């Protein structure tokens, strides 16, 4: 299969994990192969299942099994290089490139180093398709999966956010305006307090608390005894009527003539 890159089309993923998708390399019945770039700058080959194959649990399981066996083979080769030997199992796909990254979720993909002219990530798409059943020396009818017509790349669903309705938007705007108004009013009150304290008279100092000690009431002085003063005596008056006569102050010229 010739490595002829074509531009990305509508629906192709811009990124797969940490790898940037740059162009489309192959289009197989089970998935797509892209040319990408790793974070360290080297070229990688990326394989993604179609949306129909990712929905089929059996097809997705065959793809994920190939990925896990390839990753286990890489760990086994490292152990052998370090001198550790372990019993290996027969892999689903032979001669696969080393796996640089993969995702085994509902939209699985794999990334391997890209080398022009050598097999890339398309090798992992081969076990997804199932051919005819072998009966003796002849093959039975080819098996056509029901999902073959769904040719869109399988992408992980985006994280859905709660849509912002008009009522909720208005409530948020009103709450933000109220918060700004409260902050502005608090700032104005604080400035007025600071200016009033700086321009006015200094506040009087608080006097120390006084201790009240009650004193005894004053005792009155003893008055000195005084001698009694004689009161004027009056001549006793005679009882009965007085005889008429002249009083000492009457004039003799006013006596009646006989």
CB atoms within 10 A of CB 148: 14
Return the pLDDT at 85. Answer: 40
> Whole-model pTM?
0.54
- Quote the pLDDT of residue 50: 94
- The Cα angle at residue 248 between residues 244 and 250, in degrees rounded to 5: 80
Contact 120, 33 (CB under 8 A): yes
Q: Tokens representing 68?
A: 């896990």
Helix (H, G, I), strand (E, B), or coil: what is residue 140?
Answer: coil
Split the chain (258 residues) into runs of 10 and give each run's mean pLDDT. 79 93 92 94 95 92 92 59 42 77 92 91 88 50 77 79 74 91 91 75 68 74 65 53 52 50
């Amino acid at each position: 299969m010739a490595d002829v890159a074509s531009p990305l089309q509508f629906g192709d993923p811009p990124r797969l994990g940490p790898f940037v998708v740059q162009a489309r390399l192959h289009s197989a019945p089970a998935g797509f192969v892209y040319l990408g770039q790793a974070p360290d700058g080297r070229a990688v080959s990326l394989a993604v299942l179609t949306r129909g194959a990712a929905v089929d649990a059996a097809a997705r399981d065959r793809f994920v099994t190939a990925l896990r066996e390839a990753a286990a083979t890489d760990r086994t080769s490292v152990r052998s290089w370090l001198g550790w030997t372990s019993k290996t199992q027969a892999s689903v796909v032979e001669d696969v490139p080393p796996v640089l990254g993969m995702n085994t979720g509902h939209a699985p993909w794999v990334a391997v180093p890209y080398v022009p002219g050598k097999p890339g990530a398309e090798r992992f798409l081969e076990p997804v398709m199932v051919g005819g059943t072998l009966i003796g020396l002849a093959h039975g009818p080819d098996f056509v999966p029901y999902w073959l017509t769904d040719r869109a790349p399988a992408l992980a669903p985006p994280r859905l956010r709660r849509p912002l309705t008009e009522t909720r938007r208005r409530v948020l705007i009103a709450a933000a305006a109220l918060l700004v108004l409260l902050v502005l009013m608090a700032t104005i009150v604080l400035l007025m307090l600071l200016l009033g304290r700086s321009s006015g008279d200094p506040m009087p100092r608080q006097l120390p608390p006084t201790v009240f000690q009650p004193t005894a009431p004053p005792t009155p002085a003893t008055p000195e005894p005084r001698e009694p003063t004689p009161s004027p005596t009056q001549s006793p008056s005679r009882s009965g009527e007085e005889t008429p006569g002249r009083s000492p102050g009457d004039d003799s010229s006013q006596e009646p003539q006989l």
